[in-house]
Amino acid sequence: MVYSWYQEWLDRKNRYARTDQVFADADRFAEIAVGIGLPNIVQKSTFSFRNVKDGADRFLGLSQSGEKPYARIYTRLGNPTSEHLEKVLFKLDCQHIIDAALAADEKKPTIGTLVFASGMAAITCTTFALVKSGDTIISGGVYGCTDSFFRSLEKFGVSVKFVDTTNPESVKNALSEAKNPAMIFLETPDNPTLYISDISAISKLAESYQIPLIVDNTFATPYLQQPFRLGADIVIQSMTKYVNGHSTSVAGVVNGPWKFVSEHLFPVFKDHGPTPSPFDSWLNTQGIQTLHVRMERICDTALELAKRLEKIDKVERVWYPGLPSHPQYELAKKQMRKSGGIISFELKGGFDPASNLMNYFASYTTPMELAVSLGSAISYIQHPASMTHSGIPEKDREERGIKNGLVRLSTGLEGTECLWAAIVEGLEKSYS
């Protein structure tokens, strides 16, 4: 597989993106997230041109005044409010790339950013921009809809091979056995079992086949993990979660090599129409301003709850990357600033106590909500086997550890003691 944009990107990735420093400087991150400010909400579907040449230039991708040319034609192609959000997201993940490229007097852009109407739209459009009939996607354990989307591509002659991406050897074997491997896609931490994959090691494998490594960074966010620094080629997030932070909108983002984004992804975006509304982009720009503060607090609460859950005898197993019992604890420490806000735990006795616990939290008198999604100020609890991951064939689900007793908790901002008191009471009632 040879992508026209690949060699130039590989050269730039090695010069500007890969760094020994794994995390963004926390103060610089905060400065960008807040300092870039809030845009106006440009709630318009179409934009008037200054003259015929201006209109024609914009369709050619040229702009006289420096702003994104497609952000002022027609909102399906782009919008000034979404353009502002793209700038923040681009800087949060890629400021070090911008700095290094400028220092090297690079004249052409290195990274491009596009925001989408959902995380799934970001994933589907990126995939459509890469694969063709006869290709194989190598994927790890992923979110239920990403899993079912990859499987649905069979009818277009595109295969998917699911492998254990926590073991780079499995990825290597899959690559050598696959017909036309076209992309590697992984979530780390993955949803819902929080397994961690070695981005750096897998990026080297992807390079040996000249194919992109795509990382879904939804669970970690750019505050906890910066996949470009570790060698990833394309970074995706569902902004519905931590970026938004309050469950007020659905949106996604792709950061990737400039040529890939502008020449391959943008045409798919333009023709499929997964454009976010200007108001949703404004909400996400607002949410991003507090991302670093929320993540710090959420991670600290989640770590404490995970430690306590591990000591409860009704709990068969706790899955949290910040616990020494996690199979990739050391890798998580190396790759992530903190361990994230999601805890999954399996209850002894399977579905019945799990269902009782969730019904307990469905009551409005408890601090959590029984709801899918994650990353909000409000804590959520849900049952992956019957909800978010119900689309995965049962055998594959069981193999991935998504058993009937497994529940996934998205830690919010209610406070450790408030959440812990409710968990203890909920567990008590679930077995009585």
Ligand X SMILES: Cc1ncc(COP(=O)(O)O)c(C=O)c1O
Q: Which residues bind ligand X (CB under 6 A)?
A: 118-120, 143, 146, 187, 191, 216, 218-219, 238, 240, 250, 252
Minimum CB separation of residue 301 from ligand X in Å reads: 20
Residue number of the CB closest to ligand X reads: 119
Cβ nearer to ligand X, comparing 100 with 125: 125
Minimum CB separation of residue 66 from ligand X in Å reads: 31
Considering Cα of 404, then 405, then 408, then 409, what sign does the dihedral take? positive
Cβ nearer to ligand X, comparing 257 with 274: 274
> How many C-beta atoms lie closer than 10 Å to residue 39's C-beta?
20
Minimum CB separation of residue 120 from ligand X in Å reads: 4
CA angle, 85 as apex, 224 and 287 as ends, to 5°? 55
Cβ nearer to ligand X, comparing 78 with 141: 141
Q: Report the distance separating Cα 121 and Cα 143, nearest Å.
A: 14
Minimum CB separation of residue 428 from ligand X in Å reads: 30
Q: Three-class SS of residue 420? A: helix
Residues 6 or more apart from 413 whose CB is under 8 A from it?
294, 297, 298, 301, 377, 378
Residue type, 186: L
Cβ nearer to ligand X, comparing 191 with 200: 191
> CA of 300: how far to CAs of 60, 194, 228, 304, 334, in Å?
49, 16, 25, 6, 17
- Reported as type and span, the H/E element at residue 425 is helix 416-430
Cβ nearer to ligand X, comparing 69 with 412: 412
Cβ nearer to ligand X, comparing 92 with 371: 371
Q: Report the distance separating Cα 257 and Cα 3, nearest Å.
A: 12
Q: Report the distance separating Cα 265 and Cα 113, nearest Å.
A: 10
> How many C-beta atoms lie closer than 10 Å to residue 38's C-beta?
12
Write phi, then psi, for 368 (nearest 5 degrees). Answer: -95, 170
Cβ nearer to ligand X, comparing 5 with 242: 242
Minimum CB separation of residue 395 from ligand X in Å reads: 22
